[in-house]
Amino acid sequence: MSEIVTETSNNGIQNFEPIVRYQKVSKSFGDTEVIKELDLDVAPAEKIGIIGPSGSGKTTLIRMLMTLEKPTSGTIEVDGELLWHKRVNGNLVPADEKHLRKVRSKVGMIFQQFNLFPHMTMLRNVTEAPIHVLGLSREEAEERAITMLEKVGLKDKLDQYPRQLSGGQQQRVAIARALVMNPKIMLFDEVTSALDPELVEEVLAVIKEIALEGNMTMLLVTHEMQFAREIADRIVFINGGTIIEQGPPEEIFENPKHERTQNFLRRFNKKN
């Protein structure tokens, strides 16, 4: 798999059937355009690290895929289906809630602020969606949830509430909560930015484990360069709402071609 991707990003030929496709996507908040006619194809099972300065639009990019923000123009396809639009007699019309929910079921997301449900125990945080969205029985949902919580190393915290756990533990539960829905594509929005430094590692380890399993498509917006380098098949550098440069991690980190990429990485290395 990573072979194909490397090849693609090297010569720009797209010889895979993308699972995610952004086409001429723009997004404005009021007068500020945060994404400008951006194109991006993501291969199935590809792991993409999205880097860039704050305010570059990288978070908006994945939030549009989660349907949290609506593109101002352009189209996004997920697994061969248009996300924000429906094709009716050859014309594009805005998608209705039913269509959104259908496509949304293929995507999951981990947030910077965890966004666990504070009024639910850990177990219920993870079982609520399988029961009410997938329609699983409580037993089945709990069985799956416990497997996932085991995977993130938190099987013993089932009956605790979010506020009783550390940030790192909360974020791991959030990961289990997203995994249990079995999405094809998982989005990570600066998932370690809100964590104390000593808690970052435990969360990254869990993500790395998921990445190594291989078959999930992952888009990671991150400031953890070392981490991105380790797990990503491709690094996308975004600045000012457009992709400035993309390619295999070694290429971007060792030998960035674009001046803005070089500046960004230099400034970043200095800070750390």
Partner 1 sequence: MWDWEFTISILPLLLEGLKITLIATFLAFGFAVVVGLLLAIASRSSVKILSLPVKAFIEFVRSTPLLAQLFFIFYVFPKFGLVLTPLVAGVLGLGLHYSTYLSEVYRSGIDSIPRGQWEAAKALNFSKARTWISIIIPQAVPPIIPVMGNYLIGMFKDTPLLSAITLVEVLQTAKIIGAQSFRYLEPITMVGVIFLILSYVSSLGVRWLELRLNQR
When asked if residue 138 is in the footprint of partner 1 (CB under 8 A), the reply is no
Q: Considering the complex, what minimum distance in angstroms separates the CB of residue 14 from partner 1? A: 28
- Strand ranges, E, within 43-170: 47-51, 73-78, 81-82, 85-88, 91-94, 107-110
Query: In terms of CB distance, is 128 or 209 closer to partner 1?
Result: 128
Dist CA 169 CA 205 (whole Å): 12
- Asked whether position 94 contacts partner 1 by CB under 8 A, the answer is no
Per CB under 8 A, does 194 bind partner 1?
A: no
Minimum distance between the CB of residue 23 and partner 1, rounded to whole angstroms? 23
Q: Which of 133, 137, 257, 267 binds partner 1 (CB under 8 A)?
A: 133
Judged by CB under 8 A, does residue 73 bind partner 1?
no
Does residue 105 touch partner 1 according to CB under 8 A?
Answer: yes
Binding flag, residue 29, partner 1 (CB under 8 A): no
What residues contact 229, with CB distance under 8 A and at least 6 apart?
49, 235, 249, 250, 253
- Only segment of 4-12, 41-49, 51-59, 96-104 that touches partner 1 (CB under 8 A): 96-104
d(CA 39, CA 265): 23
Name the residue nearer to partner 1 (CB basis): 126 or 252: 126
Kindly state whether residue 87 participates in binding partner 1, applying the rule CB under 8 A: no
Tell me the closest approach of the beta carbon of residue 109 to partner 1, in angstroms: 4
**Which long-range contacts link 245-251 to residues 24+ away (Cβ below 8 Å)?**
246/9, 247/9, 247/10, 248/6, 248/9, 248/10, 249/49
Q: Does 148 bind partner 1 (CB under 8 A)?
A: no
125-129: list long-range contacts, CB under 8 Å, 24+ apart. Answer: 125/162, 125/173, 125/177, 126/173, 126/176, 126/177, 126/180, 127/180, 129/177, 129/180, 129/181
Binding site for partner 1 (CB under 8 A): 66-68, 97, 101, 104-105, 107-109, 111, 113-119, 128-129, 132-133, 177-178, 181
